[in-house]
Amino acid sequence: MKKFLALLMALCMLLAAVPALADVADTVASAADLTHDELVEKALAESGTFVVAGTTSRITTAAEAFAELYGIEINSTNLKDLEIYTKLESESIDMVMIQDGAQLLDAIDAGIVINYVPASVKDTVSEEDQYPLAHQFTNKLFIYNNLGDDVPAIKNVWELTDPSMKERIIFKSPTGEQVNMNFLIMLTSEKWSKKLEEAYKAWKGEDIDLGDYPTAGHKWIAEFLPNCQFGKSDTNIAEEISQETAAGKIGLFVLSKLRSSSVIGENLTPAQYAASAEGYTIEPFAGFMYPIYAMVSANANRPYTAMLFIEYLMTAEGFAPWSKSIGAYSGNSAIPEKEGDLPLSVWKDTLVVEDPEYILDNFEVEDFVRQYLQ
């Protein structure tokens, strides 16, 4: 987080030195009620290469289809969050798709990126998902290897803190991906700590003894992380846990990774899928979920094109690269989940969803988490 704050300060200085950037914010504000045809007309009147960056690999596919549709020259790249912020500092960029709502709120407040909600989708995107605009939701689930005699088909997350689970859990280190850290921070909130207290009693049959821990969330974190091995990436974790040699193991990783040809899908069971099929609940959560946001860059050379692309991404056609597989859910309620998957409404009820404001106010939990990372 300290690296981000330093970068944010540098970006603020950069933006303060370029008054023309205020024109982009004014342009976006004035375009709030533009129709699709009006937006197309203004976008096609702009010149130069349209530059896009995103944390999701499928942005390139969507960008290429958009460029072909409107005859626009485009440059799209898939980058990590901090790489995108660096790119915003050092290069001209028009539009970004980015995760981690807490950092994003800081970036919006600093004038680095600008929120835009297309008029065409205001009625089909819930109000809570309009600021910042959630293009899609991604879920990371407890997914276990279903082979062997000791299948970790958990029904309560406290099972994962048991000594018998030592080195059987694989998770990408929270120091390597901020959304994973955000998940753990959220567990210390009043809502999730209360749910964890109730889940503990359901598991042990007695009230939780917090000892020196301030909340049940802190206690779960302190007992969960030492049982974990930390994988390089969600794809690697999915590949490893799907092998026959990984019987008895469970991971917390992105559901959509099951689409990978290198993953043996039949050897894996998402805990929430089993719960939904058999009529029980994973107490008190089956994983976590976070949005990927679509934003206009404050230094955009083609702001109208950026807004048109955001509108396109919020349509079924623009969401097509993601809707081909499970584990991707449009912020536009008119676009259904892939057949065979569970709807976004179920995931919002069964997963820990990040609250950017809470995370911003409780970053000190990061120091607590780091004590338990191997």
**One digit per residue, pLDDT tens: the chain, 374 residues?**
544 454 454 555 444 444 456 799 999 999 999 999 999 999 999 999 999 999 888 999 999 999 999 999 999 998 887 788 788 877 889 999 999 999 999 999 999 999 999 999 999 999 999 999 999 999 999 999 999 999 999 999 999 999 999 999 999 999 989 999 999 999 999 999 999 999 999 999 999 999 999 999 999 999 999 999 999 999 999 999 999 999 999 999 999 999 899 999 999 999 999 999 999 999 999 999 999 999 999 999 999 999 999 999 999 999 999 999 999 999 999 999 999 999 999 999 999 999 999 999 999 999 999 999 96
Q: Do domains 2-136+291-342 and 137-289+363-370 have the same CATH topology?
A: yes
- Residue 315 tokens read as 């349509």
Sketch the domain layout of the chain as residue ranges: 2-136+291-342, 137-289+363-370
Tell me the C-alpha distance between 243 and 240, whole Å.
6
Give the residue from 257, 280, 46 showing the smallest Cα distance to 138: 257
Q: What are the percentages of helix, strand and coil residues in the chain, rounded to 5? A: 45, 15, 35
pTM comes to 0.92
Report the CATH fold assignment for 2-136+291-342: D-Maltodextrin-Binding Protein; domain 2 (3.40.190)
Q: Enter the CATH code of domain 137-289+363-370.
A: 3.40.190
- Residue 314 tokens read as 């919020």
Cα dist from 341 to 124, 231, 280, whole Å: 20, 25, 17
Whether the Cβ atoms of residue 260 and residue 239 lie closer than 8 Å to each other: yes
- Return the amino acid letter for 261: S
Tell me the C-alpha distance between 342 and 112, whole Å.
35
The three-point CA angle 179-218-211 to 5° equals: 175
